[in-house]
Structure 1
């Protein structure tokens, strides 16, 4: 894996994480690093799901893939904030 791939994964993860955090209801007591981690994981899993459905590689912007990734990030942020608030 090249350094440009790592940097782009972090940037995409940040964007997906922030969008997922905006979609998730309520207040989330998690930090920026956890948001990035959740976003990166959601981006990878969402890409795999979109690839499985055959909607990952389309002409133009892959809106369905983005929606899957943002939805997964929202679920991840909600689960992580719920587990952190119980402590």
Structure 2
């Protein structure tokens, strides 16, 4: 049980770091919350883990150098997609 709690906390921290790095690397002002940044970072970490496993440079259960690089790239892409989607939505009243 304790191991699962530590893994979840680590996943949240890594997701936050990846999301913040993506925001720093993407030029311009991003109009998303820090919560969404963490969620995008976690999603990017999952995507990168799957890709790293498929190409044989890592595992979904561990984050190594290539997995981290792929996660940051995936986070920048996800950030761009979310931003473009938010610009298309009409403002709420």
Which consecutive aligned stretches of 4+ in structure 1 deviate over 2 angstroms post-superposition? none
Radius of gyration: which is bigger? 2
In 2, distance between residues paired with 1:62 and 1:5?
15
Q: 2:49 aligns with which of 47, 50, 57?
A: 47
Task: Using the TM superposition, give the Cα deviation of residue 71 of structure 1 relative to its aligned residue in structure 2, in angstroms.
Answer: 0.3
Between Structure 1 and Structure 2, how many residues are aligned?
84
In 2, distance between residues paired with 1:13 and 1:3?
15
Q: CA RMSD in A?
A: 1.7
Between the two structures, name the one with larger relative contact order (CA 8 Å, sep ≥ 6): 1
Task: Using the TM superposition, give the Cα deviation of residue 27 of structure 1 relative to its aligned residue in structure 2, in angstroms.
Answer: 1.3
In 1, distance between residues paired with 2:53 and 2:27?
28
